[in-house]
Each structure stands twice: as structure tokens, then as C-alpha cells.
Amino acid sequence: METYRTPDDRFAGLADLPAGTTWEPSYADVTDPDGGMLRMAYVDVRPDGWREDATTVLMLHGEPTWSYLYRHVAAEVAATGVRCVVPDLIGFGRSDKPVSSRDHSYQRHVDWTRELVLDRLGLGGPGAGELTLLGQDWGGLIGLRLVAEHPDRFSRVVAANTGLPTGDVDMPEVWWQFRAAVEKAEVLDVGRLVASGCARGLDAGVRAAYDAPFPTEESKAGPRAMPSLVPTRPHDPSTEANRAAWAGLGEWRAPFLTAFGDSDPITGAMAPVLQRHVPGAAGREHPTLERAGHFLQEDDGAELGRIVAAFVRTVTP
């Protein structure tokens, strides 16, 4: 597997970091299908006095962003004494980037993330504290699979502008337009894609931070591949695994919260579906963030952080 590793200097001087935040990475190796190793990055935000058996929130990003997306969310959550672990998916951020789209598959991304989170970091395992998932976009497509397949490792879930498609229901037209734009672009403008998913706009410095991981076209194989990996037909390679995950989520009675933006035409319809299907979502007030688009972490990351922190602090598994 041929890979690209973004030079560290591309991440110097990141804009709009919360006060006292450095967004410095840690790294662990995960296994590629050929038995080699890929370096996977994550930011580990540990509050003062953190202990190994304390609560952790796992924050998973999606397409075409990276862990930087969660900087304001993590600042709010960590301020309440909760650890935040924020990975970069393989192909994104500071993680290694397979340069062929054929090296990306839905199952591989689930497996890579599982290896990092559950095996290398041991989150939610013996001696570790409670683990809460916060997943948005592909962070939910991957994270909800992990929750359904390893329910004993997770104590809570916050689903934010995400879903778990099986291909049994067609994707919205705006998503098909997005997929076509990614497939046809001779030069993929990642910062522009992120800006188009924000209801409140995105300034130049933040757009540059989303461009930073991808200085060459070959480095963008991950963002180019991900739309084509979403199950869109009933016989998609990932359909059966996602149907099984839906069945698992239908038995999930631990706390489950949806926190969606009010201006996301791609995933907005999924909030009530998740609320009806997951037993742990019943009887809760599920917040909707105002003037928040698909990337609600950019539009109102601090508010999303406060919602997650309150959910972790006040809702007992």
C-alpha cells in the first residue's frame, strides 16, 4: 500500500485554536490489509487531574475534515474534567494517507478505527472509565458500527448530523450532487467543501486549516473515496454489516442523544429516525442547534461541547 504522510510544517500556526490549546498529536500504528502498519494520529485532551479510570469522550470526524473540527467542542468538554480523544481517520489530518482510492473501504475504516480506539488505546476496556461516542458524518457511520458491535465498551452515544445508511433508502439529492462534485473535480478544494457545509461561513484561516493535510492531489484519495463508500443500494458491500448494526442499535438501552443542526439538508432527516429506533433515546429532550449546518462543530462548537458535557455529567448509564 503506497501512502502519503503530510509534512508536520503544514500544521504550524493553526488558526482559531481555543486559548491554551495546542492541538498536538499523538500516534499509534494500525494494521493495513497487507500486514504492514499505518500511522494513525489522535489528539488526547486530558484535563488536570485526569485518571485512567475517568470518563472519556471519543470524537470522530467525517468527510473531508480532520480532528481540528472538534477543537471548540473538546475545549468545552475538557473544561468539565472529561478526557477527549479525537482521532484523524486514515487518509485525513495527520494520519497516513493511502494514495489509491481502491485502498479505502468502509470496512477498512471501521477496522482501523476499532484497532486504534479499542485495541491500542483500550478505551472503555478493563480499568478504563466510561466511554461516550460523539460521531458526526462518517464519524457516526464508523462509530455507530463500533457501538453496535462492541456495546460493552460504550456507555453513551451522541449522534450529531449523521446516520447509518444501508442503501435501502435513497440518499437525498443534495448528497448526490456533493458526490458528483467530488468525483468530477480535477482539483479537490477541501476548504471550500467544508465552508459549503457551514451555515455561518468559514474564515480564511480556518479554511486553510482544512486544506493543510492535503498539499497534493495524491494526498486527497481519502476525501475523494469516501462518498463512493456510502451504501446507496441494498446490495452494497457494507449493507449487511450496517443492517446488523441497526439491529444492535435497536437493542441499545444505554443513553443515546441526537444533537443535530437545523440547517443540514444531508442528514437532518436522520434525527427522528434514530430517536424512534434506539431505545436509549426515548424520553429525552434532543437538542437542535440553531443556524448550524452539516459541520455544526464549526457553526457552534462551543454549544455542542456544552451539550455533550452536560449529557456525560448528568445522565447515568
Per-residue pLDDT of the chain (317 residues; tens, 9 = 90+): 999 999 999 999 999 999 999 999 999 999 998 889 999 999 999 998 888 888 999 999 999 999 999 999 999 999 999 999 999 999 999 999 999 999 999 999 999 999 999 999 999 999 999 999 999 999 999 999 999 999 999 999 999 999 999 999 999 999 999 999 999 999 999 999 999 999 999 999 999 999 999 999 999 999 999 999 999 999 999 999 999 999 999 999 999 999 999 999 999 999 999 999 999 999 999 999 999 999 999 999 999 999 999 999 999 99
Contact 193/92 with Cβ under 8 angstroms? no
> Taking Cα atoms as reference points, which of 195, 222, 221, 224 lies closest to residue 207?
195
Residue 34: what pLDDT? 83
CA distances from 226 to 41, 149, 174, 288 (A): 19, 22, 16, 26
Alpha-carbon dihedral of residues 116, 134, 214, 34, nearest 10 degrees? 30
- Tell me the Cα Rg of the chain: 18
Q: Can you give the pLDDT at residue 259?
A: 98
Task: In whole angstroms, give the CA distance from residue 294 to residue 278.
Answer: 22
C-alpha cell at 172: 437525498
Question: Could you tell me which residues come within 8 angstroms of residue 173 by beta carbon, excluding any fewer than 6 positions away?
Answer: none
Active site residue ranges: 137, 264, 294
